[in-house]
Structure 1
Amino acid sequence: MKLKSLASGIALALALGGCATTYTTADGASGADATPLAAVTMVTPPERDPSQLQVLFWSDEQRSARFREMENWFAGHEVPAARQPRALPQGEALPAALAQKIRATMLETNAAGVMVYKNGTVRFEDYALGFTPDQRWTSFSVAKSFTSTLLGAAIRDGFIASLDDPVTRYIPGLAGSAYEGVTVRQLATMTSGVAWNEDYTDPNSDVAQMNRFVVEYGPEAIVAQMRELKREAPAGEKWVYKTGETNLIGLLVENAVGLSLAEYAQEKIVEPAGFENGLFWMVDPRGGNIGGCCLSLSLADYTRMGVFALEGGGDAVPEGWFAEAGDSLVDFGDSGYGYGYQWWTYPGSFGAQGIFGQSITIVPSEGLVLTVVSNWPTATSSENRAKWGAIAAGIAASD
């Protein structure tokens, strides 16, 4: 798996600053629950030397500390906890040998927290690296699956008419570019056919150039960069991973709904999923949120997001949304792996992934959600991913 999601975060070193702002969302209460939603607020951290914000160059010790306090390093929106947090009842502990294997894998992969939810109860929970249950850990590309969920919510609410609408209907600035004729569905599955280079080792790659566009174009950076891209295949025929396109989805949803992703997430994810420790989501130069990266949650709230998806999302998304979004809409050969609407798909399961070892793995047939947050020594590791894949399989097969 490629290094996927830091360009926006790196660009923040030069792009962010400004005043504190308070946002008030609409009241999403229904039935007997008429308590107004608390405000979503802007968090502005102390001014720092931009060199301190280069996440890729943080030391192991710095990552372990800063991954659990990103709101002290980058500007973003603070979303309060849900009015009625969802209980995660404790269940019977996993078999001792399996729990021991999980703890050993935590040590091997430098995991900060692991939670196992199966058939309605928490069967395992443990922490390391100074991380505690009431703290939040950064997500990196796990955020993409949240942005996908808000896309579904916007469809459910009628702000987006159809996944088959042209992207330019919601982002007019892309008219006349390679995105002319590309549908929202093709954007969601990263099959636009537009060329993109996600190689972080190449300073001239598209993902590395995000910083330059932020400096030159400020609030217009996303559209300015994506307008310059060229087509390499007919729309719908080629899958290429593009963080820039998830940022477009975020912009598309914000344009359609008229709220920031964080504000909309308060109504459509935080409240119905019952988050207990709120949410922090970084902003870009527009003052909107970064669709492809950079929200922070507690370990239990990552699990609540997994349970929310496992149970279908209630009335927040269209019926069957997660079954479709977590299906292999793009197959990676005969491997059993693929990609849905900003969710990775595996044999019998689907999940969200972020660099440095963040993941939510959902196994619907077993009522299982496995949540892992980590500080891997390297941003990507197929070996570590495989270890946690084996753990998920072992938990699914256990009593």
Structure 2
Amino acid sequence: MVFFQPLKAAVLAMLLISFASTAADIEYRHAHEDIGTVRQIYDGKLYPDVQVNTFRNIDRLFPTRTVEKGKAVSQLPLSKQPLQDFTYSVDGQSYDLYDVLSMNRVSGLLIIKNAEIVFEKYLLGNAPDTRWMSMSVVKSITATLIGAAIQDGFIRSIDDPIVNYLPRFNGTVYDGVTVKHLLQMSSGVAWNETYTDPASDRRRMLEAQLSQQPDAVLNLMASLPRAAAPGTVWNYSTGETQVAGALVRAATGKPVAQYLSEKIWSKLGMQADANWWLQSAEGLEVGGSGLSATLRDYARLGLFWLHDGVIKTAAHSERVLPEGWMKTASSRQSIGGKTVDYGYMLWPMHGNSYAAEGIFGQYLFVDPDAKLVVAMWSAQSKPLYRAGLNEYRFLQALSEHFQKSNH
């Protein structure tokens, strides 16, 4: 017995090391599925099975950089009052969750109320460890990192000209554009966002990304003409978010994925590493799309926004974003004397609620009034206008349900 206990402890330690090594080497469950191409994604020319495979394997389309998680995983407890018997009406027609999930081709839905899971469902072959593409949801993440850089002092002011940090744009169409203009998409730089038009600026950006040449996208942005004075016209532009990502990289001196990991991902208790598309091998992250993460980790990010950019743990509380940042970032903006239904790369909705949105039906919805977070994946057939049911109306109905029930 004198020697048994130390021996048992040593064997146990070896087993734990072996288990940890094996767990780290476990292959991603979807790694060998057949996938399509990125052009087929934007053209909406993928059959349903291959489309789903592609959306959960987008890290195979471009080089990526890892967004590393931390050591601890934050718990998302199950509510003792799960969502049941939920229905809502539109124009006299009643709908329920079964309708939403099937008609909108939802592949994952997680609803969190008061920091507890009231509904979680994976479909189309997905599972809790599946990673799914964000598409334009990542625009809101890039904007969030600008807020973090301001809080850290890497960016002095939201009203700073971006050329203070990106001198490469001196003398270009972006000379005179401020950080705030970027966040609002009010730079005045001409841009055509039509996904399915091969001649659009959005598709030119995609081709630049496909070329995998360093700075190809930024060179495209610098070559564009001016359509209006900065701060006078709102125009949705994915290209603008590539400039925003370059701003984060230049101001912090760190790769964008690394900064995301250091400020948020490693501290928020994420369950898995994420990965993020690069515009070239070892190059800049794609600021407007290409982050891939698990459903619960998207929801954890939503909780971070709900808490105004404060990370709370048992040991301490850390403010990552300037106080009040999320309220401003999620509010309608006045641009050129007109109120625009857009914040800092977030979409204001009913009341004080807002959403990060991506084509094909990706949503991260936050309602501070109802203390509600909804993470939703979908695989709709085309980039736009293929939702069977209006997602905004569904999310609004969820807010109303929980506010009425005081649940």
TM range (shorter): 0.7 to 0.9
Indicate the SS of the match to 1:208: helix
- C-alpha offsets along residues 331-355 of structure 1, whole Å, 9 cap, x if unaligned? 8999x97111111111211110000
Match of 2:235 in 1: 240
Instruction: Please tell me whether the aligned partners of residues 276 and 301 of structure 1 are also in contact (alpha carbons under 8 angstroms).
Output: yes
Instruction: Indicate yes or no: 2:41 matched with 1:55.
Output: yes
| Alpha-carbon offset, residue 389 of structure 1 | 3.1
Paired residues of 2:232 and 2:335 also in contact (CA < 8 A): no
3-state SS of 1:219 partner? coil
Q: Which runs of 5+ in 1 are unaligned?
A: 1-42
Q: Give runs of aligned pairs for residues 308-319 of structure 1, distance below 5 A.
A: 308-314=304-310, 315-319=319-323
Matched-pair contact (CA < 8 Å) for 1:370–1:392: no
- Which of 290, 294, 303 in structure 2 is aligned with 1:294? 290
| Aligned with residue 275 of structure 1, among 248, 255, 270 | 270
Aligned-residue offset at 1:387: 4.5
Question: Is the alpha carbon distance of 1:289 and 1:217 closer, same or farther for their aligned partners in structure 2, counting shifts above 3 Å?
Answer: closer
Q: Using the TM superposition, give the Cα deviation of residue 209 of structure 1 relative to its aligned residue in structure 2, in angstroms.
A: 1.3
Question: Which TM-score applies when normalising by structure 1?
Answer: 0.82
SS in 1 for 2:384: coil
Quick one: distance in 1 between partners of 2:232 and 2:373?
Answer: 32
Is the 1:207–1:243 Cα contact (8 Å) retained in structure 2?
yes
Deviation at 1:364, TM superposition (A): 0.5
Q: Distance in 2 between matches of 1:52 and 1:291?
A: 16
Q: Secondary structure at the match of 1:209?
A: helix
Give the direction of change, closer, same or farther, for the CA distance of 1:108–1:390 in structure 2 (3 Å limit): farther
Per-residue deviation at 1:257?
Answer: 0.9
- Other-structure match for 1:360: 364
| Aligned match of 1:303 | 299
1:210 corresponds to which residue?
205
Aligned residue among 299, 309, 325 for 2:329: 325
8 Å CA contact retained: 2:68, 2:266: no
- Structure 2 residue 331 is the aligned partner of structure 1 residue 345: no
User: What is the Cα deviation at residue 211 of structure 1?
Assistant: 4.0
Q: Is the 8 A contact 2:111 2:117 kept in 1?
A: yes
- Say what the alpha-carbon RMSD is for the aligned residues: 2.7
Partners of 1:173 and 1:217 lie apart in 2 by 20
Question: Which deviates more from structure 2 when the two are superposed, residues 224-233 or residues 242-251?
Answer: 224-233
Deviations, residues 318-343 of structure 1 (Å, cap 9, x unaligned): 11111111111248999x97111111
In the alignment, which of 168, 176, 181 is matched to residue 171 of structure 2? 176
Is 2:132 aligned against 1:137? yes
- Which residue matches 2:62? 74
2:100 maps to 105
Equivalent position SS for 1:360: strand
For this pair of structures, how many residues does the alignment match? 354
Residues in 2 aligned to 1:102 and 1:95: alpha-carbon distance in whole angstroms: 10
| Residue 259 to residue 54, structure 1, CA distance change in 2 (3 Å) | farther
CA contact (8 A) 1:143 1:294 kept: yes
Whether the 8 Å contact between 2:154 and 2:251 is mirrored in structure 1 is yes
Pair 139,211 (structure 1): closer, same or farther in 2 beyond 3 Å = closer
Equivalent residue runs for 1:8-19 within 5 Å: none
Worse-superposed segment, 266-275 or 52-61: 52-61
Counterpart-to-counterpart distance in 2, 1:323 and 1:120: 19
Partner of 1:22: none
Change (3 A) 1:332 1:166: closer
Report the alpha carbon displacement of residue 222 of structure 1 after superposing the two structures with TM.
Answer: 2.4
Q: Which amino acid letter does the alignment assign opposite residue 342 of structure 2? A: Y
What is the distance in 1 between the residues matched to 2:157 and 2:336? Answer: 26
Match of 1:385 among 382, 387, 391: 391
Contact 1:170/1:256 (<8 A) preserved: yes
Verify the 8 A CA contact 1:189 1:330 in the aligned structure 2. no
1:148 to 129, 143, 151: 143
TM-superposed CA distance for 1:311, in Å, is 0.5
Answer whether contact 1:145 1:343 (CA < 8 A) is retained: yes
Amino acid at match of 1:368: L
Higher mean C-alpha deviation, range 123-132 or range 284-293: 284-293
Q: What is the match of residue 13 of structure 1?
A: none
Which residue pairs with 1:18 in the alignment? Answer: none
Q: Distance in 1 between matches of 2:295 and 2:278?
A: 22
- Matched with 1:24 is none
* Deviation for aligned residue 1:142: 0.3
The CA distance in 2 between the partners of 1:79 and 1:101, in whole Å, is 36
1:114 positional shift = 0.7
Matched, 1:65 2:53: yes
Structure 1 residue 55, shift from structure 2 partner:
2.3
What TM-score do you get using the length of structure 2 for normalisation?
0.80
Stretch moving more, 255-264 or 50-59: 50-59
Q: Is the 8 A contact 2:36 2:54 kept in 1?
A: no
1: CA distance, partners of 2:35 / 2:376: 31
